[in-house]
């Protein structure tokens, strides 16, 4: 369909804003260059001319300029449009935003010296949204996407560039079609260069153990792969342990942002934060309640959230995300099993001598292009070994573990090196969970007393645990125990996998119409030897 035919269709769909001056152009065919006299016979039947508003003229100019309008996966209207500065490229802008209207303003000023009113630009945006509905949907990603076996990383710079990584190498390229949505907080990644060494990264991070370095490297590379579920990277340690500095460095290599670290305000509006930040980093986190911890778990696995746009209507706002997340704080913000199972816990020690942050930042910025390039090279090698790498079936986050084994091979290590590092980290999660659960502590004492197996209802077990807490002088133990048998049963289900690693079996016995039996016993085999290394 020609541009003039498009405009003819648009004319019958648009309701002109009251008070907007009309332009007359001859039809057919439509020609935006003819006179702009106002019609004097608005109530008479239209003659051989069409009344076309200034907003329609802007729409026609946009189509003529090559604007491609469409809906994203959430049914929001976008435009893929040519931009001349700082060098010719295309940008993907949400229709109706100030950035998009600014582009319409510049487009109109090229055709007319008269500056259109804001209402005119809004009307033009409405019309383009109608066209977007007719043109179907395209999926847009935040910072990274995975297409046809290739990783695409949004450079987020003013030249509209992206980085393409495959099994052979990586390259910087110009996007030929809309792939990404950008947010105002995002900053550009450095232009990667050859000749760097990814090992330099750990000269900038306060990480001593080789196992932790390997896990952080795997996590860092996994943030670029949209097909991999990345666990939360949890940096825990006392004041002065460079947790924030590590967080900023890692985010500067994955998803640079004006708001590099986020606080309590963003935690209160998590679904929107996760939607707009590809690698959100939460600083000085203290404690998560059950609802917040659950939202973090959902963000790791991948989830969608639905909200009403306004309280006065039924329009929906949809959010969908799967994110790589950084959290730092003095302690562990949640000891819920499902939260810990989705974490990599890194213990940071207090720095012995401090340096000027300005100097450290300058050194990092100078290293960033080559360091980023070396990480991309390592990512390419990882992709080349991924298919031939055996899958690790013992880990819940199997995709991440498989990817971690491939990274280990890419750097010249063994599959077992990653397995051991990840296994020990999970063991620390078990330790954190059990050490912070009074029920787990009392169950261990119950098993140590003998007379096994213990069996009975959850109500009977709660009574026995309460009595045991009293006899062992646990201060305030009653307040920390579940309030009733139903909550105890729920906690037993959560604790059972972790207790098994400590040699304690929690199982359900035969259920009758009147009661449900629980069994507490000692495991037939001793706990894994690597647990001893955590003591």
Q: Is residue 262 part of a domain?
A: yes
How big is the chain, counted in residues?
A: 535
**Residue that is last in its domain, among 108, 134, 160:** 134
What pLDDT digit, counting tens, does each position of 245-263 carry?
999 999 999 999 999 999 8
CATH number at residue 446: 3.90.1150
Please give the biggest Cα pair distance in the chain.
101
In a domain, 149, yes or no: no
Average pLDDT for 311-327: 73
Looking at residue 235, its pLDDT comes to 94
- Residue 51 above 60 pLDDT? no
Q: Please state the pTM of the whole predicted model.
A: 0.81
pLDDT band at 38 (very low <50, low <70, confident <90, very high): very low
Residue found under tokens 């390259």: 171
Residues 95 and 65 in one domain: yes
> In sequence order, what are the residues at sequence separation of 6 or more whose Cβ sits closer than 8 angstroms to the Cβ of residue 138?
70, 71, 72, 73, 78, 177, 178
Both 480 and 403 in a single domain? no
- How many domains does the chain fold into? 3
Across 186-199, average pLDDT? 93
Q: What is the number of H-type helices and E-type strands within the chain?
A: 18, 18
* Per-residue model confidence as pLDDT tens digits over 2-11: 444 444 454 4
Question: Is the domain of 267 the same as that of 403?
Answer: yes
* Pairing, β 326-329 against β 504-511: unpaired
Answer whether residue 366 shows pLDDT above 60: yes
Across 311-315, 475-479, 497-501, 511-515, least confident range: 311-315
Residue 447 sits at the vertex; the CA angle it makes with 441 and 449, to the nearest 5 degrees, is: 105
139: in domain: no
* Same-domain pairing of 350 and 217: yes
* Average pLDDT of the residues in 369-389: 96
* Strand blocks (E) in 290-389: 303-308, 316-321, 326-329, 343-347
Q: Is residue 99 classed as helix, strand or coil in its secondary structure?
A: helix
For residue 479, what pLDDT is reported? 65
Q: What is the pLDDT of residue 317?
A: 64
In a domain, 168, yes or no: no
pLDDT number for residue 186: 95
Residues 300 and 335 in one domain: yes
The answer to whether residues 35 and 68 belong to one domain is yes
Tokens of 414: 């063994």
Confirm if 20 and 120 have CB atoms less than 8 A apart.
yes
Task: Please tell me whether residues 301 and 419 are part of one structural domain.
Answer: yes
Band (pLDDT 50/70/90 cuts) for residue 195 is confident
Is 169 inside a domain boundary?
Answer: no
Let me know if residue 271 belongs to a domain.
yes
CA distance 337 to 320: 24
- 378 with 490, same domain? no
Look at residues 114, 134, 154 and tell me which one is the last residue of a structural domain.
134
Rounded to whole angstroms, how far apart are CA atoms 394 and 377?
Answer: 29
Please list the residues that pair with 236 across neighbouring strands. 329, 347
> In whole numbers, what is the pLDDT of the chain averaged over residues?
83
**Dist CA 5 CA 479 (whole Å):** 74
CB atoms within 10 A of CB 308: 11
Pair (352, 424) in one structural domain: yes
The strand ranges marked E within 65-182 are: 68-71, 77-83, 89-94, 144-147, 150-154, 161-165, 170-174
Residue 256 counted as domain residue: yes
| Predicted confidence band of residue 312 (pLDDT cuts 50, 70, 90) | very low
- Quick one: 341 and 356 in the same domain? yes
Q: Report cis status (omega within 30 of 0) of the bond before 453.
A: yes
Q: Is 164 a domain residue? A: no
- DSSP output for 141-159: BSSEEEETTEEEEE--STT
Q: Are residue 212 and residue 356 in the same domain, yes or no?
A: yes
Backbone φ, ψ for residue 317 (5° rounding): -120, 125
Same domain, 484 and 357: no
At 523, list the tokens: 């495991």
Tens digit of each residue's pLDDT (9 = 90 or more) over 381-433: 999 999 999 998 889 899 999 999 999 999 999 999 999 999 999 988 888 88
Q: Angle at which helices 458-471 and 438-448 pack, to 10 degrees?
A: 80
Q: What are the backbone dihedrals phi and psi of residue 353, each rounded to the nearest 5 degrees, phi first?
A: -135, 140
Residue range 128-135: average pLDDT? 92
Whole-number Å distance between alpha carbons of 268 and 371: 34
Query: Is cis: bond before 86, omega within 30 of 0?
Result: yes
Structural domain span for residue 410: 198-432
Q: Answer with the one of 409, 432, 455 that is the final residue of a domain.
A: 432
């Amino acid at each position: 369909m020609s541009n003039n035919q498009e405009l003819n269709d648009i004319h019958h769909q648009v309701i002109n804003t009251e008070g907007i001056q009309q332009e007359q152009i001859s039809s057919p065919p439509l020609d935006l260059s003819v006179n702009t006299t106002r019609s004097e016979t608005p109530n008479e039947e239209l003659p051989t001319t069409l009344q076309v508003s200034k907003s329609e003229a802007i729409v026609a100019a946009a189509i003529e300029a090559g604007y491609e309008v469409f809906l994203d996966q959430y049914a929001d209207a976008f435009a893929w449009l040519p931009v001349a500065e700082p060098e010719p490229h295309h940008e993907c802008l949400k229709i109706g935003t100030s950035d998009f209207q600014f582009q319409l303003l510049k487009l109109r000023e090229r055709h007319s010296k008269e500056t259109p009113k804001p209402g005119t630009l809004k009307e033009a945006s409405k019309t383009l949204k109608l066209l977007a509905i007719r043109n179907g949907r395209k999926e847009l990603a935040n910072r990274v996407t995975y297409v046809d076996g290739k990783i695409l990383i949004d450079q987020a710079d003013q030249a509209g560039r992206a980085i393409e990584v495959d099994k052979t190498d990586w390259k910087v390229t110009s996007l030929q079609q809309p792939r990404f949505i950008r947010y105002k907080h995002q900053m550009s990644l450095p232009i990667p260069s050859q000749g760097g060494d990814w090992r330099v990264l750990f000269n900038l991070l306060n990480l001593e153990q080789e196992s932790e370095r390997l896990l952080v490297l795997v996590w860092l590379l996994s943030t670029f792969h949209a097909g991999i579920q990345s666990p939360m990277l949890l940096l825990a340690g006392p004041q002065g342990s460079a947790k924030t500095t590590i967080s900023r460095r890692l985010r500067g290599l994955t998803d640079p942002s004006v708001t590099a670290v986020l606080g309590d305000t963003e935690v209160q509006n998590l679904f929107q934060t996760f939607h707009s930040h590809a690698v959100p980093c939460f600083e000085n986190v203290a404690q998560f309640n059950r609802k917040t911890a659950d939202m973090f778990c959902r963000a790791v696995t991948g989830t969608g959230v639905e909200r009403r746009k306004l309280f006065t209507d039924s329009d929906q706002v949809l959010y969908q995300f799967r994110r790589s997340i950084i959290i730092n704080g003095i302690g562990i913000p949640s000891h819920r099993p499902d939260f810990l199972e989705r974490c990599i816990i890194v213990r940071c020690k207090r720095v012995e001598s401090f340096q000027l942050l300005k100097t450290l930042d300058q050194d990092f910025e100078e290293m960033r292009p080559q360091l980023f390039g070396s990480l991309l090279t390592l990512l390419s090698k990882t992709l080349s070994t991924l298919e031939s790498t055996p899958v690790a079936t013992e880990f819940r986050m199997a995709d991440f573990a498989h990817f971690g084994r491939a990274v280990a091979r890419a750097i010249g290590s063994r599959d077992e090196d990653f397995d051991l590092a990840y296994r020990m980290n999970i063991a620390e999660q078990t330790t954190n969970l059990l050490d912070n659960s009074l029920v787990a502590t009392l169950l261990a004492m119950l098993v140590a007393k003998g007379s096994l197996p213990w069996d009975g209802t959850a109500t009977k077990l709660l009574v026995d645990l309460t009595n045991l807490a009293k006899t062992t002088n646990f201060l305030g133990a009653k307040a920390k125990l579940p309030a009733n048998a139903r909550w105890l049963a729920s906690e037993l289900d959560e604790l059972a996998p972790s207790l098994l690693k400590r040699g304690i079996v929690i199982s359900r016995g035969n259920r009758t119409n009147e009661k449900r039996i629980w069994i507490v016993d000692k495991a037939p085999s001793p706990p894994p030897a690597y647990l001893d290394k955590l003591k």
